[in-house]
Structure 1
Amino acid sequence: MLITLAGPQQAWGSRSRFATRGTERAPTRSGVIGLLAAALGLERTEPLDVFDGLRFGVRIDRAGIVERDFQTARTLDGKTSMPLSDRHYLADAVFVAGLESEDHALLERLRQALREPRYPLYLGRRAFPPAGPVQARIVEGSLLESLSAEPWHGRAGHPPETLEILVDARPGDRVDLTLSDNPRSFDPRRRRYDWRDVTAGVVRRSDAPATAPAASGSARPEHDPFALTSDEEV
């Protein structure tokens, strides 16, 4: 299943604590699972086992700009000011998130939930709603094949020939980064996240010219992400 994530502002934190609220440069697994949990109508105290078998990946169609904001708040009686918080977010970004599973019924359930969400959806923070209804579609093929075949969702104009992706690393895959964003509980009293290994690479758009040169300045020009493909449904 592929999900387009677009909005004026997005924030996908994996290390945010107290007065400092950062963002990763792409949607996190915990952020997307939270979006799906809201669509399903799950309470924060409910178990998240339903998402355990999903392989997660994301394609960066438009990286956006990292912006910084300062916020403060007061207590209900207006007498006490809360500490100033430092918050970062992505402006004008677009991503395609992918979830791979052999369980077609689960993917269809998630797609329907995004179509008619039980709770309001937001892109990482409650203040950041999506630009419109969150579009989700079920496609055949592996996660990487589907992320490559999906049309580009960036601005009008000349699209890039290759797009960066970040996917769950499998045993034996190269690990490029590790994030604490695999949610085990959203319960405010005892939130818990496991570590997740991530493989980064690029995919060539399926409609890109066959003779187009490789993108210059790629950090990983020799990496073939299709070495990680499988026959599961996305």
Structure 2
Amino acid sequence: MQPYLVFSLTAALGAMGELAGHERRGSLVWPGRSAILGLLGAAMGIDRGGDFSGLDALELAVAVFDTGASLRDYHTVETIPTAAAKRPNSRPEALAAARGRTNTTITLRDYRVGGLYGVAVWGDGLEALAAALNRPHYTLYLGRKSCPLAAPPGAKVIEAASPESALSQLTLPPWRRADRFGAPAIARTLICDATADDAIREQVHDVPRDRALWHFAPRRVALRDVAITVGGAS
């Protein structure tokens, strides 16, 4: 038995990970490690360029209860030719200098609608993290700033024998609880660091080596096909 911090993540819209290209920004179907550590940092009041070394040492597992539906937004972007305005002091000044010679392009933004995930965290400082999640310093969102959480994460620290056992003790949003609708929520996929016994693995580059230079090292993650059942409120 060991302590785990567990909490849920759900949002009307979520956009998680994927390469940030100019014309298209996709979304994974579950939040990655960097997204969760960023959310924990926001709860703790750590600025984007702050010290995340205490969070980098944490271990995580993510249970996927509902990946949500996909949604694509067609987003227009207006750019200004560099020859039209050199070193403007503001965007209005640049637009005035361009005099209608702006370039408008359509870009694509992918989202997930109504996803529901459970997160288990283990390591040092869990009680402080739970308190921060329940009273966050900055607004918590699922990926992009336009995607605030639809419900409080319900963070708590519990004792359990494994991440799967810990995640079964989640407090889910009211509209997903069995005590209201009779059917328990069941996660079919668990994402965590891979071990030698895991058959389904993927390689991701999300272990920070130099945050200032955006250098990340690879790690192997496992997608475990397990049934994690949350019976209701606790």
Match of 2:227 in 1: 204
Give TM-score scaled by structure 1 length. 0.75
2:192 and 2:182 map into 1 onto residues whose CA distance is 27
Matched, 1:8 2:30: no
User: How far apart are 1:162 and its partner, in Å?
Assistant: 5.6
Matched, 1:165 2:190: yes
Give unmatched runs, 5+ long, in structure 2.
80-90
Give the superposition deviation at 1:170.
Answer: 3.9
The equivalent residue for 2:85 is none
- Alignment-derived partner of residue 143 in structure 1: 163
Q: Look up the match of 1:48.
A: 52
CA displacement 1:16-60 (0-9 Å, x = unmatched) = 333321111111101011111111111222232101321111111
Distance 1:151 1:38, change over 3 A: closer
Equivalent residue number for residue 21 of structure 1:
25
Q: Which amino acid aligns with 1:182?
A: V
Larger Cα-atom Rg: 2
1:70 CA drift (Å): 1.4
Q: Secondary structure at the match of 1:84?
A: strand
The residue aligned with 2:110 is 88
Unaligned runs of 5+ in 1: 209-234
**RMSD of aligned Cα (Å):** 2.6
- 2:201 pairs, out of 159, 166, 176, with 176
Question: What SS does the corresponding residue of 2:115 show, helix, strand or coil?
Answer: strand
Q: Match of 1:110?
A: 129
Deviation at 1:181, TM superposition (A): 2.8
The letter for the 2-side match of 1:96 is G
- Counterpart residue identity of residue 98, structure 1: A
Residue 172 of structure 1, CA deviation:
6.0
Quote the Cα distance in structure 2 between the aligned partners of 1:162 and 1:45: 34
**Cα distance, 1:44–1:82 mapped onto 2, change above 3 Å:** farther
Q: What SS does the aligned partner of 1:121 have?
A: coil
SS at match of 1:146: helix
Asked if the contact 2:37/2:56 (under 8 Å) is kept, the reply is no
By percentage of residues, which structure has more strand?
2
Secondary structure of 2:136's aligned partner:
coil
Paired with 1:82 and 1:60, the residues of 2 have a C-alpha distance of 38
CA offset digits 1:52-110 (Å, max 9, x no partner): 32111111111211111111234633553454221111101111111122x2xx11111
Find the aligned partners of 1:59 and 1:19 in 2 and give their Cα distance: 31
| Match of residue 83 from structure 2 | none
Letter in 2 for 1:204: A
Moved more, 4-13 or 111-120: 111-120
Q: Aligned partners of 2:111, 2:220: CA distance in 1, in Å?
A: 23
Residues 1:125 and 2:144 are matched in the alignment:
yes
The amino acid that maps onto 1:50 is G
In the alignment of these two chains, the number of paired residues is 203
For 1:70 and 1:207, the matched residues in 2 are separated by 37
SS in 2 for 1:27: coil
TM-score by length of 2: 0.75
**Inter-partner Cα distance in structure 2 for 1:17 and 1:6:** 25
Distance 2:130 2:193 in 1: 21
Contact 2:189 2:225 in 1 (8 A): yes
